[in-house]
Structure 1
């Protein structure tokens, strides 16, 4: 992707931050992708091998330190404390490994360096360590980016229409049902079993050192993706109405607090990522700041804490259907009345 540049573009009215649930516009934007790109400083599209590798070294160093502490000291703690220490380790290590996953994800987008072979090599190694099939994920994820917001062609958290929801949905539309649904959703990514052993220490050791953190990684990956594409304000489009640009804009940036940095800002720069997926993550914050005045109401950010947003979306976003009486039947919005 070529570099951007400065260009005078009329600003679109900004969406009021105090009302994150207000619907984003679903009409064709008054700006083009080219205009958005030209508002971004050109250096944001430059990929540095050294800078990209610095994030790999940073994350893997912290991951090794956490591993060393867990492997060396947790088993020396009295049993009540060790039982508490392991979940703490899983949470901390899982967050760091989610950052590793994000770097590998950038390799799949050819955003790590200018060399495709290097991106694929680094991505394959990092994703394999996290039990992710790099190449098959790379190609399927590109299909997601090519079809975001389409009810017919997208592959990631595509909402069902009301006529397609199961008979059991009404029994899960309550607090207990939402707990069950979220628990299943956040854990399905975990493999059914680990097919290897480590130093004859047994599966319990493998789970404590590796499996627990990986379970946290899988949970965060599902949660991050779910919340990026599921929001009461976001439209989805039937094939009669969908186009790539509006589909790419039908995403939302979220705030995960300190985890934004741990996750290399994949959480709060997702709109820019969908518009320019080959842009390195370390330029995405600057690019987001540059494009917000142009996107205006088409830019969606929700600062609701992610754990509250997860519960709200599980409650409010059960299916999609067009607005009653709306002449345009190709635009679908989230509903929760069963």
Structure 2
């Protein structure tokens, strides 16, 4: 792994052609039937867990019953996240050569998780085209030192004393992990300055106007399709609430969905936030530099099997996003050979400890070499 504080850091100089030339050709060929198997497998897991959960109310001991519901929510949230990742693959056109298969499958899976498939697919494409570009990326863009310090000047002195307390970080993360994802989809409240100039409804992933910062007029039909998908699922959930009751729907669907929100934010954050990876302003950014600025991590059985390797193979994914997840391990090995020392991974730090640690220490980025226009997170511990 690179030492980001070594003053002679040199950005990667390999080419995307070298990446493609080194990847076995079959890795670029999706298998529609195999992809369908994984989709049906995950839906089968969902149904099995729901069937088991129907027996929880018969547990006579309240504390044991509460533990069973908590366990169900956690495990079902993991399976929901696996479905979310499969829909993400559909958004890249990676599960089939059939555009219809990708779009229909992705629309169903993401809509069931209250994600507007096409709208998010379009903004996610922007992220891939601008990864770690401090001026244009839209996913966990860090503040540069000057902006961070300017923002701190508006805080009260009391906040300076308590902001680094572990309990404050814990409370912040609790609420952030639950509501940040739906807020981002609805009002894009974390918009960059160039986007924040538009009113919140024009920044929304549900906006049909075509004159907002995220979408063009030619995207309107896709956004409408996404909105209809969300509307249909919301209507179905409302009907289920009327029939089974709001609390029962929270137990069976709501709490697992909240876990899914947590995992999506955690995964995305850790893929693109680490002291080891560089960030670039627009002047020095290139697609290849951005693609190399990601981190592979390990989440054991959960990451490899339930999350379909999204955590372990993300660096490769940013180089060639159309490779289906079941070829990603092999493709990653090929990409690593080309990247050399520029391949970034952390398979030693426990996954959730890395999440906690990075939230504590990754506050702002700064140039590690004057006038380099290359930024790394400052060591703030």
What is aligned with 2:56?
A: 74
SS of aligned partner of 1:188: helix
Distance 1:175 1:211, change over 3 A: same
Aligned residues: 317
Greater displacement, 225-234 / 291-300: 291-300
Q: 2:166 aligns with which of 175, 200, 211?
A: 175
Answer whether contact 2:296 2:314 (CA < 8 A) is retained. Answer: yes
With normalisation by structure 1, the TM-score equals: 0.89
Structure in which a larger fraction of residues adopt helix: 2
Q: How far apart are the structure 2 equivalents of 1:153 and 1:239? A: 8
1:61 aligns with 2:38: no
Residue in 2 that maps onto 1:11: none
What residue number does 2:307 align with? Answer: 263
CA drift of 1:197 comes to 4.3
Q: Distance in 2 between matches of 1:296 and 1:312?
A: 26
- 1:191-228 residue CA offsets vs partner (Å, 9 max, x unmatched): 58x77241522110010000111111110000000000
Is 1:126 equivalent to 2:170 in the alignment?
A: no
Q: What is the rounded CA distance, in whole Å, between the counterparts of 1:24 and 1:276 in structure 2?
A: 30
Matches within 5 A, 1:42-61: 42-61=25-44
Superposition pairs for residues 97-246 of structure 1, below 5 Å? Answer: 97-165=80-148, 166-167=151-152, 168=155, 170=160, 171-189=162-180, 196-198=238-240, 200-246=243-289
Residue in structure 1 matched with residue 323 of structure 2 by the alignment: 279
The residue number in structure 1 matching 2:353 is: 308
- Structure 2 spans left out of the alignment, 5+ residues: 184-233
- Secondary structure, in 3 states, of the residue corresponding to 1:271? helix
Q: Secondary structure at the match of 2:316?
A: helix
- How far apart are residue 173 of structure 1 and its match? 2.2
Residue-by-residue CA offset, 1:17-59 (whole Å, 9 max, x unaligned)? xx8x877985342321111111111100001110100100111
SS of the residue corresponding to residue 99 of structure 1 reads helix
Q: Distance in 2 between matches of 1:108 and 1:190?
A: 18
Pair 1:129–1:22, CA change in 2 (3 A): farther
Aligned residue for 1:333, secondary structure, equals: strand
State the Cα distance separating 1:186 from its structure 2 match. 1.2
Instruction: Report the CA distance between 1:316 and its aligned residue.
Output: 1.3
Q: Is the 8 A contact 2:362 2:380 kept in 1?
A: no
